[in-house]
A and B are shown apart, each in its own frame.
Chain A
Amino acid sequence: MKFKCIINGCLSHTRAQAEELNGFISRFLDSEASDGTTIIFYSQKDERKALPGLVPTQRAELVRIDRYHPESILDALARIEYSDDADLYLFPSGFAGSEIAVRWAFRQKGSSLVQVKHIDCTRDRVIAKKTAYVDHVLATFRLDRRPFCLSPARGCVDRLPIRARDNLVVTEHDFTGLNKGIRAHDFHWIPVEHAKHFENPRFLIVGGRGLQNKENVQFLKNMADAVGAEFGISRAVALNAWGPMHRLIGVSGTIAKPEICIAAGVSGAAAFYAGIEKSKFIIAINTDPLARIIKSSDVVVIDDYKTVMAELLKFFTFDGANEA
């Protein structure tokens, strides 16, 4: 099977994309029977040097474009991929990867599936699994038309570091100036703050709709800071603007893998739970004994999260003072 990995090096998390796809290839593709090429798009000349170290395959095509725009990538891909010989295209999880997977498949008259959790493939057919019904169900699909364009679900595989290759074959393309006609003006880039170690914290505290307002979210954030935990929020909290979107935990945010997770005021909707289900130990604090999170946690405190957290802080403070 001929496969191609498409990496968007115009964004800041190029290594994470490469390692994610490397993990996906390692888990699902037969390396003996597969022949892979990685296509990396980038825009800044000074980024070029590091790119060969981010290639999970034997061959690489490094493609310079003006800036990240889906049309720039799709148009450049159309120029590179004229030979129509790839069976499978792998795109990273995330917004750009899933968008381009779907649109590239449409243009190539192939099949696409995004948020994929598992694949089983031959040259002519891919069987892939993804969630449906707000993450309550795992749906299996047969993809019939090649090229098969897939983007994994966030966190479905562990990232696998890229090993350096001495015999890497690199081809270069320069498509700067290709999309001068794109109708975008007054373009402003607004970077977002990313918390360090947010995906793999040792200790994570997450607040849900039960927090009810911005002040309570800040209270829980302060608690998390005081006990040395990372802090995350559910989608309901983010959409009410009680907390920042970059702290979102769940299928459309971060899939966290902490050792300990405290879920406070969280109902436990499946789309949220997907963001904490890889926790080693989950503690729910909730006043509702019938909330879905109760059955999905290791231990549960049925009580008001504010009072319980304030009491917990006393123990942390006492032990901290004694250790000091």
Chain B
Amino acid sequence: MRILVCFKAAPDVEMLIDEDWAVDKKLKIDTSFVKNTLNTYDESALEIALNLRDASEALGTNVELSTLTVDGGGATAILKTLYALRFTKAVRIEPQEDLRFRPAATAAIICQYVLHHSPQDAVLLGRQSDIGENAKTSLLVAEMLGWQCISQATHIELADENHLMVTHQVDDGHIRQRIRTPCVFSVGDAPCTSLRVPTLRDRMQYGKKAVDVLSVEDFLLPVETETLTGLEILRHARAGVIIEGKNPAEKARVLYEEHLKPMLSQK
């Protein structure tokens, strides 16, 4: 089974302080000084794929993992890590333009990669990226490919060479079902799926392979039907009054007597 995992490395915006949040004339926010990371959705998608490969080894079937990102170079370290985790192929597609809020363009690239460059049986993506928060790319990939889509996937197991057992979250529960490939999986809140760390030995042996780089010019991008016209920084400041006290007991007393008790005693 050929599985492609697509991810988006994004700056860890939680590292920005209030003064860093500023929007320029091109509707961009300077995050160049912040380290790029994987968000938990993408991390889960990658780890779920690795678990599928582990299971395939035990079952004697073959799972081949590859990974793709549309990125200007900030994901190179992550791609090398994925090689060290023995992904067979790591591909970076160099964008020429701002794709933060263009999920249809990103989906078209992934779709055309699968159709024209590297056929796959399953495509896994995190449900949304940290910057655009569009929550659309995986759904659009499925629509463009004409494949079944399972959204909010939290657990995937190998059933046989053509089927996967998937558990996915719906609004008031979970559904567990057997799915025939090809299929797109949009990975949601999947507990216990932090991406594993490769051994130093695997980093040395596998992690130095060159990443395949393709130009976005090799792909046809659709016209987006939604256009970004503004960005406004949200501030959530409250009073932040610090309760003073010699010890935790005194602080708890002040908190209880001055705040909790009066509020909770109001009917």
What is A's interface to B at a CB cutoff of 8 Å?
Answer: 8, 11-13, 68, 70-71, 94-96, 98-99, 102-103, 105-107, 110-115, 127, 130-145, 182-192, 194, 202-203, 235, 238-241, 245, 248, 252, 259-260, 267, 269-270, 273, 277, 281-283, 289, 292, 294-304, 307-309, 311-312, 314-316, 319
21 pairs from A and B in contact (CB 8 Å cutoff): A70-B151, A95-B188, A114-B136, A133-B130, A136-B13, A137-B29, A140-B231, A145-B225, A187-B175, A239-B44, A239-B193, A277-B236, A281-B263, A283-B255, A283-B259, A294-B242, A299-B259, A300-B240, A301-B242, A301-B255, A315-B257
Across-interface contacts of A141 in B (CB, < 8 A): 101, 226-229
Distance A309 CA – B249 CA, assembled complex (angstroms): 9
Q: Are B139 and A99 in contact (CB under 8 A)?
A: yes
Distance A239 CA – B227 CA, assembled complex (angstroms): 33
Nearest A residue to B226 via CB reads A141
Q: Quick one: given A140-B230, A185-B178, are A311 and B248 in contact (CB under 8 Å)?
A: yes
- Determine which residue in B189, B240, B256 has the highest number of CB atoms from chain A within 10 A of its CB, and name it: B240
Partner of A99, one of B18, B151, B192, B227: B151
Q: Are B179 and A189 in contact (CB under 8 A)?
A: no
A-contacting residues, B162-208, CB 8 Å? 165, 167, 169-180, 188-194
- CB of B241 within 8 A of chain A? yes
Across-interface contacts of A132 in B (CB, < 8 A): 100-101, 131-133, 231
- CB of B66 within 8 A of chain A? no
Q: Are A133 and B13 in contact (CB under 8 A)?
A: yes
Q: How many residues of B contact A (CB 8 A)?
A: 79
Binary contact readout B215-240 vs A (1 if CB under 8 angstroms, 0 otherwise): 00000000001111111111011111
Q: Are A142 and B227 in contact (CB under 8 A)?
A: yes
Across-interface contacts of A127 in B (CB, < 8 A): 229
Partner of A11, one of B133, B172, B180, B190: B172
- CB of B264 within 8 A of chain A? yes
Across-interface contacts of B18 in A (CB, < 8 A): 295
Q: Quick one: given A106-B143, A136-B234, A188-B175, are A130 and B133 in contact (CB under 8 Å)?
A: yes
Across-interface contacts of A235 in B (CB, < 8 A): 40, 189
- CB of B14 within 8 A of chain A? yes
Q: Are B14 and A292 in contact (CB under 8 A)?
A: yes
Nearest B residue to A315 via CB reads B256
Partner of A267, one of B14, B133, B135, B256: B14
Q: Are A238 and B191 in contact (CB under 8 A)?
A: yes
Partner of A299, one of B228, B237, B255: B255
Q: Are B261 and A134 in contact (CB under 8 A)?
A: no
- CB of B21 within 8 A of chain A? yes
Across-interface contacts of B238 in A (CB, < 8 A): 282, 295-298
Q: Are A294 and B175 in contact (CB under 8 A)?
A: no
Partner of A252, one of B179, B189, B191: B189
Q: Are B233 and A137 in contact (CB under 8 A)?
A: yes
Min Cβ gap B198→A in Å is 21
Across-interface contacts of B69 in A (CB, < 8 A): none
- Determine which residue in B169, B226, B232 has the highest number of CB atoms from chain A within 10 A of its CB, and name it: B226
Task: For the complex of A and B, list the 4 residue pairs with the smallest distance between their C-beta atoms, beginning with the closest.
Answer: A311-B252, A140-B230, A111-B225, A307-B248
- Determine which residue in B152, B190, B234 has the highest number of CB atoms from chain A within 10 A of its CB, and name it: B234
Q: Are A102 and B248 in contact (CB under 8 A)?
A: no
- CB of B253 within 8 A of chain A? yes
- Determine which residue in B133, B134, B152, B231 has the highest number of CB atoms from chain A within 10 A of its CB, and name it: B133
Distance A292 CA – B237 CA, assembled complex (angstroms): 10
Partner of A184, one of B100, B139, B179: B179
Q: Quick one: given A137-B233, A141-B229, are A114 and B171 in contact (CB under 8 Å)?
A: no
Distance A311 CA – B18 CA, assembled complex (angstroms): 34
Q: Are A95 and B180 in contact (CB under 8 A)?
A: no
Q: Are B226 and A191 in contact (CB under 8 A)?
A: no
Nearest A residue to B250 via CB reads A311
Nearest B residue to A99 via CB reads B151
Q: Are B255 and A312 in contact (CB under 8 A)?
A: yes
Across-interface contacts of B227 in A (CB, < 8 A): 141-142, 144
A-contacting residues, B121-151, CB 8 Å? 130-136, 139-140, 142-144, 148-149, 151
Across-interface contacts of A102 in B (CB, < 8 A): 135-136, 139-140
